[in-house]
Each structure stands twice: as structure tokens, then as C-alpha cells.
């Protein structure tokens, strides 16, 4: 009877002493949660009748970490101390985390949870304007170019710089106010609030600078157009260097970080449009302010680079410069009247430019703040007989036509004084008849 009783109780006694599998729960994250960035505090909590040997963490079936010291952190240092888990290195999507706890008898229990990793990447934005310049009123078709690396729907907004706005991606806008350079901003925002901006320069109703008697002067800050380079560098308007001319300050190549650029490489530029009537050679002068190591720029005319790099060696004061280091002057050669585009390109950032002067006089060098800025007005109609464009009909015009006799109009268009498509004695007579006219 005693043996029978012991045999009957044995399974119960064995069951009472047989440890159960460890119980595991995952804390710090819940099912279906969306996480991103650096995430902290994911922990496996284990209840076990016997000592816990280890906790193995798996991510989508791949062993991620083994922890042996409690607390058992998914993102720990193996000593029970948590640290940040960088989720940005994982593609966005749904993941399954598994925690398996083993006791010292190698009995195990597990917990699983699914969650989403989503690291919002900001969108990108760029924009275009067609046309980017013209007479007032100026109707412009804007194009907004935007991409979201997470393929989310984007919200668009435009600020046209004259008070006008639009929520469309590709709006049309008409400038009808004052003649000036407008800056239009294009902004895109994703559903998470990340945004990107881009801007475009629109030259509305701006007349070119008027060359008169072989001279044109321009305040650098009153540019006609600017072009970005995609690196974040730009020419900005400032007023913090005393001694500048005009009321609106100057421009400076920013940021002042000592970066060097070469013509043809990405660099920001500003453009100045000039109405040339007098042909021949023009000499380019720039009034600049440089600090040591940040003292260079280059110049182009109608997108063609001129000579080399202008490099200032006089620091911490305004200084006129018109030649490259070898002493070669910066020049423009015009064979016919035109509206040309002079551009200043970033060389070494930090350089400030106050004024630009173009002169046909090879012996002229500006001093002080230089001549007053040229006008932006309609060019007066040509004076009959003034074929050399010096503002008066004189013997010099007769000499000009005489030297052009026998040439075609395409070779010397100004010598066709009477406009009959030929250069002959009739042009001499026409000029003679207008001698003394102003």
C-alpha cells in the first residue's frame, strides 16, 4: 500500500519540481508602433523559476544580440546598460523582433512583436522661370521640381517676391509692379513636416545700364540677375564694411570659409546687363574689399571668361583692381553695338565687391568710390551723322566714314550714315551736312 501510494504520487512530485519554460515579454515598444532615428529602451523582461542563462534577440530572423546580464536590453552594451539604436541604417518597412530567453537548463521561452521603422528623409526642391527676364508686365511660367525619397505626397507653395503666392506646383504669375529684380521662393513640405526650398531670380522691367561715351559704372549690389551654384555659396548684400559707395551697400561672396573656386566649376555668379553703343576695347575695373586668403574672383562677358583671376593683395580696405596677377588687364572687345552681360564669378569666398567700371580709356583708373552709377533709361535715338557715337557730329565722323569707304555694311555698320545699305560718298555728304550738330 505504501509502495502503491508512492508510485501514484511520483508523477505529481516530479511535476512539482520540474521548472516551467521562462516567460518573456518585450517592453519599450508596442505592436504596430512606428519608430525612427535613434531609439532607446527596448527591453526583454524574463520570469523564470531557474537562473536565466541568456536572452537572444533576433531581427527578422537574424541574430542581433545576446545579453547575459539583466536588464536585458535589445540595444544594450552587454552590461545591462542601454544605448541608442540607430534605425536610420535600415530601410523603411515592417520588422519583427524576437526575444528568446534560455534558463540554465536550456529551457526557453520567447516573445515577438512587429513594428515599423520609418525615417523621414526631407524632400528636395528646385525651380525654373520662363522667361526669367523681360519688360513689364512680365508673365512668367514657374516650374517647381520636387522629389520625396520616401514617395510621400508633398504640399507646394510659391512666394513670388511681390506679395503674390500660389499653392500650385507649376503656377503662372504676372509681374506688373515696379521694375526690379524679384526673388521667387518655391517651398515643398512632406506630411511629416520636413521641407525644402529653392529660389529663382526674375528680372522684371529692368533696363540695361547705359554706356555713354565709352564709360559705364555699376553698383555691385544692383545686379540684374544671379545664378546659384548648388553648393550653398552665394553673393549676398551687406553694409558692414564702411566706405562703400551708394546707399545699398555691396555684395560679398559667402560663406567666408576660404573655399577656392575656378571658372567653369560650380560657383555663384551675379550678372550686369549693359547697353553698349560705342565699340572697341573696354577695360574692366572692380572695387573690392578682401581679408587675407579670401581675395579672388573671375569675370566673364556673354559667358566667355575674360583673361584670368583677379586677386587682391591689399587687405582690409577698398581697392580698385583691373588686372590679373601677371599685370594683364581684364578687357572686353566689341565689334558692334550690343546688350552684353558682364558676370562676376566667385573665386575665393569672403571677397566683397562694391562697384564695377567699364571704360574705353586705357589710361583711366578709378579712384575713391569711382564715377556715379550709370543710368538705366531708354537710349536716346542716334544723332544723325554721329557715326562714331561721341555725342557730336564733327570732322572725326567724316574721318570715320572715309576710312570705311569700300567696306560692306556688315564690316562697319555705323559708317552707313544715311542708312541706304551702302558705305559710299553719299554717307560723307550726309555727315558733312550735319556738322556741328549736338
CATH code for the part of the protein at 18-117:
2.60.40.10
Q: How far apart are CA 29 and CA 40, in angstroms?
A: 10
pLDDT recorded at residue 300:
93
- Checking if the pLDDT of 89 tops 80, the result is yes
Q: Please write the tens of the pLDDT for every residue from 263-286.
A: 556 678 899 999 998 889 999 999
For the chain, give every residue range classified as CATH 2.60.120.260: 209-359
Residues 387, 388, 392, 396, CA torsion sign: negative
Q: How confident is the model at residue 3 (pLDDT cuts 50, 70, 90)?
A: very low
**pTM of the full predicted structure?**
0.63
* CATH among 3.40.50.40, 2.60.40.10, 3.40.50.2000, 2.60.120.10 for 124-204: 2.60.40.10
Q: How far apart are CA 4 and CA 362, in angstroms?
A: 128
Q: How confident is the model at residue 355 (pLDDT cuts 50, 70, 90)?
A: very high
For the chain, give every residue range classified as CATH 2.60.40.10: 18-117, 124-204
Q: How far apart are CA 289 and CA 18, in angstroms?
A: 87
Continuous segment of H or E residues that includes residue 3:
helix 2-17
Say whether domain 382-438 belongs to CATH 1.10.1330.10: yes
pLDDT recorded at residue 262:
59
- Checking if the pLDDT of 382 tops 90, the result is no
For the chain, give every residue range classified as CATH 1.10.1330.10: 382-438
The strands making up 180-189's β-sheet, listed across from edge to edge, are: 133-134, 195-204, 180-189, 155-159, 165-166
Task: Tell the CATH topology of 209-359.
Answer: Jelly Rolls (2.60.120)
Amino acid at each position: 500500500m505504501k509502495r502503491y501510494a508512492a508510485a501514484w504520487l511520483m508523477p505529481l512530485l516530479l511535476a512539482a519540481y520540474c521548472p516551467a519554460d521562462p516567460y518573456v515579454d518585450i517592453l519599450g515598444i508596442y505592436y504596430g508602433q512606428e519608430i525612427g532615428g535613434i531609439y532607446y529602451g527596448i527591453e526583454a523582461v524574463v520570469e523564470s523559476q531557474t537562473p536565466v542563462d541568456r536572452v537572444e534577440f533576433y531581427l527578422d530572423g537574424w541574430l542581433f544580440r545576446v545579453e547575459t546580464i539583466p536588464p536585458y536590453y535589445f540595444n544594450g552594451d552587454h552590461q545591462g546598460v542601454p544605448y541608442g539604436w540607430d534605425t536610420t541604417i535600415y530601410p523603411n518597412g515592417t520588422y519583427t523582433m524576437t526575444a528568446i530567453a534560455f534558463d540554465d537548463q536550456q529551457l526557453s521561452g520567447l516573445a515577438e512583436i512587429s513594428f515599423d521603422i520609418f525615417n523621414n528623409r526631407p524632400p528636395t526642391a528646385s525651380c525654373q522661370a520662363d522667361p526669367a527676364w523681360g519688360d513689364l508686365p512680365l508673365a512668367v511660367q514657374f516650374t517647381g521640381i520636387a522629389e520625396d525619397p520616401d514617395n510621400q505626397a508633398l504640399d507646394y507653395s510659391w512666394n513670388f517676391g511681390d506679395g503674390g503666392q500660389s499653392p500650385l506646383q507649376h503656377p503662372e504669375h504676372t509681374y506688373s509692379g515696379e521694375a526690379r529684380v524679384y526673388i521667387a521662393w518655391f517651398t515643398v513640405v512632406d506630411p511629416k513636416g520636413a521641407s525644402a526650398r529653392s529660389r529663382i531670380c526674375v528680372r522684371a522691367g529692368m533696363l540695361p545700364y547705359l554706356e555713354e561715351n565709352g564709360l559705364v559704372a555699376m553698383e555691385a549690389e544692383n545686379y540684374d540677375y544671379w545664378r546659384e551654384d548648388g553648393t550653398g555659396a552665394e553673393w549676398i548684400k551687406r553694409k558692414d564694411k564702411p566706405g562703400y559707395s551708394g546707399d545699398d551697400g555691396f555684395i560679398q561672396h559667402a560663406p567666408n570659409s576660404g573655399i577656392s573656386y575656378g571658372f567653369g566649376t560650380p560657383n555663384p555668379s551675379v550678372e550686369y546687363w549693359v547697353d553698349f553703343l560705342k565699340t572697341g576695347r573696354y577695360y574692366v575695373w572692380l572695387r573690392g574689399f578682401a581679408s587675407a586668403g579670401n581675395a579672388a574672383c573671375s569675370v566673364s562677358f556673354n559667358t566667355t571668361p575674360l583673361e584670368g583671376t583677379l586677386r587682391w593683395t591689399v587687405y582690409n580696405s577698398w581697392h580698385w583692381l583691373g588686372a590679373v596677377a601677371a599685370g594683364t588687364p581684364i578687357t572686353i572687345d566689341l565689334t558692334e553695338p550690343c546688350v552684353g552681360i558682364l558676370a562676376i564669378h566667385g573665386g575665393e569666398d569672403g571677397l566683397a565687391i562694391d562697384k564695377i567700371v567699364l571704360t574705353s580709356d586705357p589710361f583711366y583708373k578709378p579712384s575713391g568710390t569711382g564715377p556715379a552709377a550709370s543710368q538705366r533709361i531708354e537710349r536716346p535715338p542716334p544723332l544723325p551723322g554721329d557715326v562714331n557715337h561721341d555725342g557730336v557730329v564733327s570732322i572725326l565722323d567724316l574721318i570715320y566714314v572715309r576710312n570705311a569707304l569700300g567696306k560692306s555694311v556688315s564690316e562697319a555698320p555705323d559708317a552707313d550714315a544715311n542708312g541706304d545699305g551702302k558705305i559710299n560718298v553719299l554717307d560723307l555728304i550726309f555727315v558733312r551736312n550735319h556738322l556741328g550738330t549736338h
